[in-house]
Amino acid sequence: MNNQFFEGENVGKEPLVVSFSGGQSSAFMCDFLIQNYSDVYDFYFVFANTGREHEATLIFADKVDKLFGLNLVWLEGITSNQHGVGMRHRVVSFETASRNGEPFEQLISIEGIPNVSRQKCSDYLKTQTIRHWMRCNGLTHRGWSAKTAIGMRADEPERADRDKLSTRHFNLVYPLAHWGGFDKQDINDFWDEMPFKLNIPPHFGNCLTCFKKSDAKLYLIAHEHPEWFVWNREMEERYSMVKAIDGHTWWRRKRNTNQLVSDANLEDRQRLIYLTNTNTDDGDGCTSSCEPFQNITNEVTEEEGL
């Protein structure tokens, strides 16, 4: 797939990379773009799988792909231990996508355990992975990049800021916020009329045990699905000393997984349900800041020769 549109040339329609996160807002964005901008853009719909996405997210992505005819490109990151190589990508499918954290573990084995102080996962496994795919397909090169559409809504003005460094660096556009003015209620109304929707409780998010979730959400998940934390515990056992002096852990206040689960067991489940239902947007940042293309890092600028 080598797109022939380059900056300054007027050859056919303009390419637009559409980052589909696996959520309902970005899925709505995909349909909105197809319905309203197909005469302007050639669309490239991409989904970056970390291997720790909820299975319902993968099922939803597959259904959206088929319903809207996205020809969705499923990507997974390949982390190299060779200095200067950077992230690479592989193309997978719904059937072959990793479901046991394989791309994530490969990243951890080289870069160490991520946490709120070392937020590497989204940058490496999503942003850099998608950008490598774009370079391989002529959609970005030094000094030029195709626009990339991100599903920030009109009720998220700070996240859809046209003046952010990441917006300018990655040539991002926010169709829901700036081309349609859609908010969360618009998205919910749309999916209420559709034959299916993303059936994940709000405290789950896309990533099973994201360290950005609030304690209340993590504690409730530990009550409901303690098995989800087995992987986190295994990663700590294998890789806690990678790029660490005293050892890295996943959770806030430098707690390891055993400590987090122990803290969760001290909490009343019904109280946690109340807290998560009344504070659905409690600032944990799991779904909001795990979108790709939100940060500019040294690795990104080195990878792209900037």
pLDDT at 305 over 80: no
Residue 294 sits at φ, ψ, to 5 deg, of -95, -10
State how far the Cα of 150 lies from the Cα of 172, in Å rounded to an integer. Answer: 7
Residue 18's identity, in one-letter code, is V
Q: What is the pTM of this model?
A: 0.90
Is pLDDT of 91 > 90?
A: yes
CB neighbours of residue 71 within 10 Å: 9
**H or E stretch covering 82:** none
Average pLDDT in the chain = 89
pLDDT at 285: 42
3-state secondary structure (DSSP) of residue 107:
helix
Percent of the chain with pLDDT over 90: 77
Q: For 129-154, how does the pLDDT look when each residue is reduced to its tens digit (9 = 90+)?
A: 999 999 999 999 988 999 999 999 99
- Residue with the two structure tokens 């947007």: 281
Average pLDDT, stretch 259-274? 95
Mean pLDDT, rounded, for 146-167: 93
Q: Cα–Cα distance between 81 and 101 in angstroms, integer?
A: 18
Stretch 104-119: mean pLDDT, rounded?
A: 95
- For domain 14-200+294-303, the question of CATH label 1.10.10.10 is answered with no
**Strand 88-92, strand 73-78: pairing:** antiparallel
Break the chain into its structural domains and give their ranges: 14-200+294-303
303 pLDDT above the threshold of 60: no
Cα–Cα dist 75/96, whole Å: 11
Residue 5: pLDDT band by 50, 70, 90 thresholds?
Answer: very low
CB atoms near residue 193 (< 10 Å): 7
Amino acid at 296: I
- Which of the pair, 203 or 58, is modelled with greater confidence? 58
Q: What is the DSSP string of 218-280?
A: HHHHHHH-GGGHHHHHHHHHHHTTTT-SS---SBGGGB-HHHHHHHHHTS-HHHHHHHHHH-T
Other C-beta atoms lying within 10 Å of the C-beta of residue 240 = 17
**What would the 3-class secondary structure string for 134-197 be?**
HHHCCCEECCEECEEECCCCCCCCCCCCCCCHHHHHHCEECHHHHHCCCCHHHHHHHHHCCCCC
The residue-averaged pLDDT of 105-129 equals 94
Distance CA 209, CA 217 (A): 9
Q: What are phi and psi of 129, to 5 degrees?
A: -65, -45
